[in-house]
Amino acid sequence: MKRAELKLIVGADESTFRTFTRTSDELTDIRELVELVVLAFDNHKGKAGLWFETPNPEIREFTPLDWVRMGRARSLIMRLSNEIQERERVTADH
């Protein structure tokens, strides 16, 4: 996934990603996070983009994009991965 693709999904300017990614690992984390969010919203990119901009009580009312800016993308990846796995487990049980 390229920065331009991230822009389309998240709705942020491409230069935004350069601003808050200091390492290639951080950009890799952002790419992984975007892919998970799109998966969580059944490939609905509009909903995925909205998720990044919506304050979330699970992360102290910050937006996920705020957390990414603070270098916490990996934490979001772990949370979202767990939620997706739980959803899949519940679906499989029914």
pLDDT in tens, 3-50: 555 555 555 555 555 555 567 787 788 888 988 988 888 888 788 888
DSSP labels for 1-59? --HHHHHHHH---HHHHHHH--SHHHHHHHHHHHHHHHHHTTT-HHHHHHHHHS-BGGG
Residues 49, 9 contacting (CB under 8 angstroms)? yes
pLDDT at site 1: 45
The domain total for the chain is 1
Instruction: Give residue 64's domain range.
Output: 3-93
Assessment of whether the complete model's pTM goes beyond 0.85: no
Residues 73, 29 contacting (CB under 8 angstroms)? yes
- Residues whose CB is less than 8 angstroms from the CB of residue 2 and which lie 6 or more positions away in sequence, other chains included: none
The 10s digit of each residue's pLDDT in 44-65 is 878 888 888 899 999 999 998 8
